[in-house]
Amino acid sequence: MKKISAIILSLSAILAVASCGSKGGATLTKSGLDPQNFVGEYNGAKTALYTLTNEAGMEVCITNFGGRIVSVTVPDKNGEPKDVVLGFDKVSDYFPENNASDFGAAIGRYANRINQGQITIDGVTTQLPQNNFGHCLHGGPTGWQYQVYEVVEADNSHLKLLRVSPDGDNNFPGEVKAYVTYTLTADCKIDIKYEATTSAPTVINMTNHSYFNLAGDPANHKITEDIMYVNSTTYTPVDNTYMTTGEIVPVAGTPFDFTTAHAISDGITADNEQIRNGNGYDHNWVLDTNCDITKVAVELYCPTSGIDLKVYTDEPGIQIYSGNFLDGTATGKKGIVYQQRTGICLETQHYPDSPNKPQWPSVVLRPGETYSSHCIFAFSTK
């Protein structure tokens, strides 16, 4: 039975990397990727590209290196296909020695920052790596975005990945088995589900780190031109090291008020301490959705392309990062140089540094429990 299952999985993987279009004898995806450029190896584990499609003309390409979304192709208001996320043309460009980036990644164990890299569980304090202004960011310097996920299931509509993180991985306690399942629905939703179990008490907070450019034109279009709505009346301010202060404050009267949809450019350059501290938007909004997956958390609309993105989640917060540190040093797909604010991240999550702020929703996972998180990226046109 194991041999038959392996054969079926191999055939599914072949179907998953199949695409539409060819150039120079190579079969390309709709977004122009060559799947052969993602066939490789990292730390002894095999990498590949997996392609999800639907009859509405949408395509999502994912590599199991870091569980990364490489491209998302959706029709614009004129029916023209647009690739609306940033990324690279080949898997080796994602390797940390070439580009230390989070483009499209399934982040773990802990998305966002942990203050001074310290967590205390049941009276035991653990020192984690300090890889960002003295804090632990996105699971440390060798977080899951730089690891190869095992492919558990693969076909043309969904991909299920597994990451087995050993006890002591970046000093985090407990062996964790984490699953990420990407599903492309018929009505153009990317449905992402996370699950995890642990052998010892630990903390976990997973998310997807795609950079969206809904114009599909990062060479010419900045996300500041887009219109955004955030279903939130409060947010968590940060200090000048991007660390949450522990406060939850109203957005009213500040550049963080998107309770009425308006252009991102309206407040991103405001003379505001929090804008200065974040170098733009790099903050967690406390959602007013009450963890209801049926309620819109964020809506982003690009007038240029007519493409609209709605984000749904059962998480209590969402980190909105406006690509402040993109600086032209990364050359992405089709040779496009990624400049500041050519992509925006909408990271559904528990709040940053929750392990050190007991007044906030807990991120502790214990043996016998199952962590779960659900995010939906729903695309349409206006």
The question of whether 209 is a catalytic residue gets the answer yes
The question of whether 59 is a catalytic residue gets the answer no
Distance from C-alpha of 32 to C-alpha of 20, rounded to nearest angstrom: 9
Q: Residues 158, 209, 221, 283: which is the catalytic one? A: 209
Residue 215 has which token pair?
A: 């114009």
Q: Quick check: 152 and 162 in contact, CB under 8 A? A: yes
Length of the chain as a residue count: 382
Q: Residues 135, 138, 315, 347: which is the catalytic one? A: 347
Distance from C-alpha of 246 to C-alpha of 295, rounded to nearest angstrom: 26
- Spell 200-213 as b/e; 16+ CB within 10 A means b: eebbbbbbbbbbbb
First vs last C-alpha separation in the chain: 49
Q: What are phi and psi of 79, to 5 degrees?
A: 85, 5
Q: Among residues 231, 230, 225, which one has the least CA distance to residue 212?
A: 225
Residue 65 half-sphere exposure toward CB, CA atoms < 13 A: 27
Residues 6+ apart with CB under 8 A from 143: 107, 108, 109, 170
DSSP state of 91: G
DSSP reduced 3-state for 382: coil
- Report, in angstroms and rounded to the nearest whole number, the Rg of the chain calculated over CA atoms: 20
Catalytic positions, written as ranges: 209, 347
